Amino acid sequence: MQDQPVAYAPPPNRLRLAVIGAGLGSAPHFRSLEDLAGEAELAWVYGRSAERLAGVQVPAHTRKTTRLEDILEDASVKAVLVLTPPNTHLDIVQRAAQAGKHVLVEKPLEIDLERATRLVQVCETAGVTLAVMLQHRLREAAVGLKALLDAGELGRLISASASVRWWRAQSYYNEPGRGTLARDGGGVLITQAIHTLDLLLSLTGLPERVTGLTATSPVHRMESEDTAAALLHYAGGVIGVVQATTAAYPGFPERIEFNATLGTATLESGELQVLFASGKRLALGARQGSGGGADPMAFDHAAHRTVLQDFIRAVQSGRTPAVSGRSALGVQQVIESIMESSRAGCTISLPTAHQPA
């Protein structure tokens, strides 16, 4: 289906973009676009069916379509938001990049590291901007913690941990394709814990080795893992621990902890608490919903808006976005290494040649 074209002159100085994918996860993106109407104009929304599109509320001049070609052939559209299932990202992004469109893609980049790497390379070859919706990096408290670490105010890192103890009912996994390797690339690691793990890695860098265990608990009937744990071995003896599950009823706030020579820092659901050995204390940010309970969409869209705004401004100015496609390869590499370690029953070394810039 395609709405009939209307005579319309887009306002100047706003980035015309399109949304590809109108499923459950599109809601915070649409709310962010409403907030950023002064910087971006939503020209098109693509959905796989007329029925899916019928429930999508869009501005008066936005057109809906089930033909991806309508978006790719519209020269006035400079960027696209790809919100489709992970296993579709490479094909859609490749077509968009070849059409000269800049891309913001929902996490993960793709279902595995090889396809994710190809996706990044496609955009780099085409010369288009690529950003990823890994929004935890740009929350106020996370930005503040990164500044503290970069400035050396916590001293040398000793150990770090990330905990994602969430809950998903079986009905969540009853949707066709959800939690499968073919569509999603896995379970709790690549779909839920990826945000917290990506934030951890953005602060610590990539480990040298990974030892992982994954399992599917009796709580769920699904192909991939709903429970995972990993030991991250960093240079200099720094130790990292990761715990992730969607079988922890009723769901708890995600948490990152840093132990360093000059103090400790705890980041929980958007709120940072720092205790310095000198006796000084620091608090930053505010507690936020994370979608860790029965309602996966129970979270504020402010961080989505920040990533989207940064993407818009990166496209307009020609700079690299804060959450670039290449920077998002690291978390996929670690997730893949955890899964491989669990299957093989041994520690996996991360090849430095593949570590993202």
Domain ranges of the chain: 15-135, 137-294+325-354
pLDDT band, very low/low/confident/very high, at 11 (cuts 50, 70, 90): low
* Alpha-carbon span 268 to 289, nearest angstrom: 10
For the segment 248-280, what is each residue's pLDDT rounded down to a tens digit?
999 999 999 999 999 999 999 889 999 999 999
Residue 321: the pLDDT is 98
Average pLDDT score over the chain: 93
Residue 7 has pLDDT above 70, yes or no: no
Residue 134: the pLDDT is 98
Cis peptide before 108 (omega within 30 of 0): yes
Are 81 and 20 contacting, i.e. CB atoms less than 8 angstroms apart?
yes
Check if 15-135 and 137-294+325-354 are the same fold: no
Residue 45 has pLDDT above 80, yes or no: yes
pLDDT band, very low/low/confident/very high, at 297 (cuts 50, 70, 90): low
Residue 1 has pLDDT above 80, yes or no: no
pLDDT band, very low/low/confident/very high, at 13 (cuts 50, 70, 90): confident
Q: What is the CATH number of domain 137-294+325-354?
A: 3.30.360.10
Residue 126 has pLDDT above 50, yes or no: yes
Residue 355 has pLDDT above 50, yes or no: no
Residue 12: the pLDDT is 62
pLDDT band, very low/low/confident/very high, at 298 (cuts 50, 70, 90): low
pLDDT band, very low/low/confident/very high, at 354 (cuts 50, 70, 90): very low
15-135, what's its fold? Rossmann fold (3.40.50)
How many residues does this entry show for the chain?
A: 357
pTM of the model: 0.92
Are 268 and 187 contacting, i.e. CB atoms less than 8 angstroms apart?
no
Residue 352: the pLDDT is 67
Mean pLDDT of 110-131: 98
pLDDT band, very low/low/confident/very high, at 357 (cuts 50, 70, 90): very low
Q: What is the SS3 string spanning the chain?
A: CECCCCCCCCCCCCEEEEEECCCHHHHHHHHHHHHCCCCEEEEEEECCCHHHHHCCCCCCCCEEECCHHHHHCCCCCCEEEECCCHHHHHHHHHHHHHCCCEEEEECCCCCCHHHHHHHHHHHHHHCCCEEEECHHHHCHHHHHHHHHHHCCCCCCEEEEEEEEECECCHHHHCCCCCCCCCCCCCCHHHHHHHHHHHHHHHHHCCCCEEEEEEECCCCCCCCCCCEEEEEEECHHHCEEEEEEECECCCCCCCEEEEEECCEEEEEECCEEEEEECCCCEEEEECCCCCCCCCCCCCCCCHHHHHHHHHHHHHHHHCCCCCCECHHHHHHHHHHHHHHHHHHHCCCEECCHHHCCC
For the segment 70-87, what is each residue's pLDDT rounded down to a tens digit?
999 999 999 999 999 999
